[in-house]
Amino acid sequence: MRRAVWILALAAVCLTRPALAKGVPTCKSPRNAVDSVFVWQQGVEQSLTNAAKCLEPGGRSQEQLEETARRLKMVFDAEGAVVDPDKISDDPEYLDDDKNARFVPHASFPRVSLERRDGSWQWTRASLDWIDQRYEERLGWLDKALEAMPAPAKLTVAGIALWQYAALAVLLALGVFASKLLHALLVARVKKLAKDGDGWRRKVVDAVAGPVAMVLTAACLRMLYPELRLPVGVSAALHTLVRLLVTFALVWAAYRGADVLAARLSEGVERSESRLDDYLAPILRKAIKAGVFLIGVVAMLQNLSIDVTALFATLGIGTLAIGLAAKDTLANLFGSLSIFVDNPFKIGDWINVDGVDGIVEEVGFRSTRLRTFYNSVVVIPNAKLADAKIDNYGKRQYRRCQFTLSLAHGTPPDKIEALCRAIRELIEANPRARRDKCEVFLTSVTVTALEVATTFFFVGDPELQEAREKHDILLAVLGRADELGIALARPLTMPDRGGRSA
C-alpha cells in the first residue's frame, strides 16, 4: 500500500505543457505545424478547426480532420510523449539527416511525421491513418464508457477527472497485488528448492524475487496507463516512473547477486589451494557492488533526462580537487592492487610488519587488518603495507625449534652422551621433523650447570601446531633423562642479608 501511495505522489508531480502564444496556423515550418495541433487544444481558447489546419486531408472531411486532430493529441498524451517546442525547427527549409523535407515530432512514434509539400508543412496522410488505427486499438473503447459514465465522475481536479484518479488507484493496486502474488510464488519455490537441498539455486531465486516483483508492477503500469487518457504531464511522469522502477529493479537484482556470487566464490575458495582466493572473493564482491551502484546512478540520471556527459564535464574540476584531496585513499587502493598482484601473504598467514606481529584477518580496498596475539586488531593502510618490509612466517619451509637442558654437575660423560643420542632418536622418529638437521651437543659448562643445547626443524606445514609438537618432544626428553638417572641442575642459593640461605 505504501508503494502505491508513493507512485501516486510521484505521478502527481508532473509538468504540464507550457502555454504558448496562439496565432492562426500558417504551416510554414515544422514548429508551426506541430504547434497547430497541440497549442489549439489546450488552455481556455481551443479550436479543433485551427488544430486541423496542417493535417493533410487525404480524402477526409473537415469534421473527420478535426476528429483526427483530437485523436492525435490524445494518443501523444496517453503515451506521455511530450513534444518540446524548443527542439522543433522553425526553419521553413528544414531537412532531416537524409536531406529530406521530413520531421518526426517524437521518437516514440517514428511512423508519425510531417513533410513539406508545395511550401507547406503537413502531417502526412499515412501518419494520420496510423493515429486513427492506434486510437481505435488503445483508446476507442473508452468513448462508449465515458458516454455512460455519470457526470460527477467526469469532474476534474488539477486537470485529472475523478474517474481517472479512481482508475489509476485500481491500476496501481492491481500492479502491487500481482507483484505480491509473484513474490509469494517465488518464495514458495525457494522453500521447495531448500527442501531439495539445492542451496545455489535457492539463493539465486531468493535474490531476484523482490526485483522481479517490482518489474511486474512496472509492466502493469506501462501496459495499462495509456488506456486512461491522462494528461500528457501525468503520462510522462508515469512513463519515467516505469523506467525508474525497471532500472532500480535491475540494479537491486545485480546488487543482491553480488552477494550470491561472493558466496559461490567462497565455496570455491574452500576447495582451492590458491593463496589469492582467500581475499579475492571479498574484494571482488565490493568491486561488483561499487560498479553496480555507479551504473545504477548513471542509469537513473539518464532516465530523468539528465545529460550525464555534461554533468561529468561540469564536475571535472571538482573531481580533480576531490582526487587531490583523496590521494591517500587512491594510494591505498593501488596498494591493495599491489598486494593482490605480488601476493606477499594470504588470509590466515602470520606476518610481521614494522614490528607488529599478527594473523592476517582481512584485506580490503583501503587497509589490511591483523589480529595480534593479544587479540587486538591492528589496521595498516595498504599504501604503507605495499612499501613495508613484510616478514611472512606463514611461508617458512621449516620452523626452527631450540631448547637447552641444564644438567647437574657430576653427571657422568657417558650418560650425557646417551642423553644426546636419545634426544636425536626422538627427533628423528617424529614424522614432522627434519632428520638431516638435528644438532644435540654439550655446548657449555658453567658454574651452575652442564648445558646441552638442541636445535632441529619442523617441516613448514600450515596445519602444524608448533607448540604442541614441541611440548610432546620435551616431555619425551624429560622421560629419557629420568630413565637414565640424569638430574637437572638446581639454581644457586643466594645468602640473604642475615647470612642465611634464601
User: Which range, 211-225, 256-270, 381-395, 419-433, has the best average confidence (pLDDT)?
Assistant: 419-433
Residue 461: its pLDDT value, please?
61
Distances (CA, A) of 155 to 144, 159, 225, 358: 17, 9, 19, 75
Q: Give the DSSP letter string of 446-491.
A: -SS-EEEEEEEEEE--TT--HHHHHHHHHHHHHHHHHHTTPPBPPP
Check if the beta carbon of residue 402 is closer than 8 Å to that of residue 427.
no
Check if the beta carbon of residue 233 is closer than 8 Å to that of residue 79.
no
Q: Partners of 363 in the beta sheet?
A: 368
* Mean pLDDT, rounded, for 357-366: 81
Q: Is residue 155 over pLDDT 90?
A: no
Sheet of strand 114-117, all strands in order from the earlier edge strand to the far edge: 102-103, 114-117, 120-123
Interstrand relation of 377-381 and 398-407 (parallel, antiparallel or unpaired): unpaired
Residue 20: its pLDDT value, please?
43
CATH code at 396-483: 3.30.70.100
pLDDT band of 11, cuts 50, 70, 90: very low
Whole-model pTM: value is 0.43
Q: Is residue 7 over pLDDT 50?
A: no
Q: Is residue 59 over pLDDT 80?
A: yes
What residues contact residue 416 under an 8 Å CB cut-off, 6+ apart? 407, 442, 450, 452, 486
Q: Is residue 22 over pLDDT 50?
A: yes
* Mean pLDDT, rounded, for 150-156: 73
Cα gap 458→422, rounded to integer Å: 18
Burial 36-50 (b: 16+ CB within 10 A, else e): bbbbbbbeeeebbeb
Q: Is residue 239 over pLDDT 80?
A: no
Cα gap 99→95, rounded to integer Å: 5
Higher pLDDT, 66 or 366: 66
Cα gap 357→231, rounded to integer Å: 70
Q: Is residue 121 over pLDDT 90?
A: yes
CB atoms within 10 A of CB 407: 20
Q: Could you tell me the three cell numbers for 125? A: 496522410
* Mean pLDDT, rounded, for 43-62: 85
Residue 5: its pLDDT value, please?
42
Residue 13: its pLDDT value, please?
38
CATH code at 327-394: 2.30.30.60
User: Tens digit of pLDDT for each residue in 158-190?
Assistant: 777 787 778 778 777 877 777 777 777 777 766
Q: Kindly state the DSSP code that residue 42 receives in the 8-state scheme.
A: S
Measure the CA angle with vertex 97, ends 93 and 103; round to 5°.
55
Q: Is residue 78 over pLDDT 70?
A: yes
pLDDT band of 29, cuts 50, 70, 90: very high
